[in-house]
Amino acid sequence: MVKSKTLFSKSTDVTIVLLLTIISFISIFPLVHTLALSLSEKSAANAGEVLLLPKGFNFSSYSIILKDHKFFTAFKVSVERVLLGTFINMALTVIMAYPLSKASRMFPGRNIYMWFLVGCMLFSGGLIPLYMTVTALHLQNTLWSLVLPGAVPIFNVILIMNFFRNLPKELEEAAVVDGTGPWQTLFKVYLPVSLPSLATVTLFSVVGHWNSFFDGLIFMSKPENYPLQTYIQQLVVRIDPELMKGMTTEDLIKLSKASDRTLNGAKLIVAMIPLLVIYPFLQKYFVHGIVLGSVKE
């Protein structure tokens, strides 16, 4: 029999729901405001009259983006960076996490490697040595300068390592009895049951590479090599005069209806679309435990 809730428990539930609603609104407000700003008229945006709903609904800013070849060039650089960077991150993360998840008797020197990784995570050489290293390796103005400095995300390695250590030992023991080696055990046993943690770490890498702008600013001297976030960061002050070159009369009319605020708001919205598309496919792994029930004792 289900007992009726007391007045205190009901008031607690209401308070929690109200608090979560407020937090959700605070989180989504910047996104809704930016979207409304990108769809508003120039005068309303510049006057600060736009809050949650667009004023003077128009798509002029989005029409201008479709004419901006630099935007799509930067978009292409970011896509390439995410694909290459995430692949390198995940490959090195898994390869490092698997041996480190073993006990010291199975992997002599494990503790030394762990202290080395923790030290690298807490302390870095700084920006100037990093810049000098990238320059010495002739990686400036190349995609490698954006992915190699952060090729080994140590925090992600620790996350995957701890997940591997918590897997049932019977899984590996059964694989060894079947005659599998370390590589086969990793790819045929550990990885298939680690999809939740791998999806989480993959999302971390994708978001990190997609949103990063500072490394593009210091390692890229040519605007055509800028990733998308670096390109957008350069447009926060005014409309790029390059947009006006080669425009028709109709395009100039559309440009006159947009301002730097509406145009940059539209670019921010477009830049967020890939992450909004990817997230639902990875989010499902956050709520499912694939290991649960895989071994009976």
**What are the extents of the domains in the chain?**
7-61, 69-239
Q: Is 6 exposed, middle or buried (CB count within 10 Å of its CB: 0-12, 13-18, 19+)?
A: exposed
Q: What percent of the chain has pLDDT over 90?
A: 18
Average pLDDT, whole number, for the chain?
A: 81
Q: Which residue has the higher pLDDT, 188 or 88?
A: 88
* Reported confidence tier of residue 289, pLDDT bands at 50, 70, 90: very low
The answer on pLDDT for 22 being more than 90 is yes
Q: Which pLDDT does position 16 carry in this prediction? A: 92
Q: Which pLDDT does position 247 carry in this prediction? A: 56
pLDDT tens-digit map of 97-131: 999 988 888 888 888 888 888 888 888 778 888 89
CATH number given to 69-239? 1.10.3720.10
Q: What percent of the chain has pLDDT over 70?
A: 84
Question: What is the mean predicted confidence (pLDDT) over 257-282?
Answer: 77
Question: What is the mean predicted confidence (pLDDT) over 126-155?
Answer: 90
Q: Which pLDDT does position 91 carry in this prediction? A: 94
Q: Which residue has the higher pLDDT, 28 or 250?
A: 28
Q: Which pLDDT does position 76 carry in this prediction? A: 92
Report H helices in the chain. Answer: 7-38, 42-46, 60-67, 69-100, 110-122, 127-136, 144-147, 154-165, 169-177, 182-185, 195-211, 214-219, 228-233, 249-256, 260-283
Question: What is the mean predicted confidence (pLDDT) over 224-232?
Answer: 87
Q: Which pLDDT does position 95 carry in this prediction? A: 93
Q: Which residue has the higher pLDDT, 183 or 245?
A: 183
CA distance 189 to 171: 7
The answer on pLDDT for 193 being more than 60 is yes
The answer on pLDDT for 236 being more than 70 is no
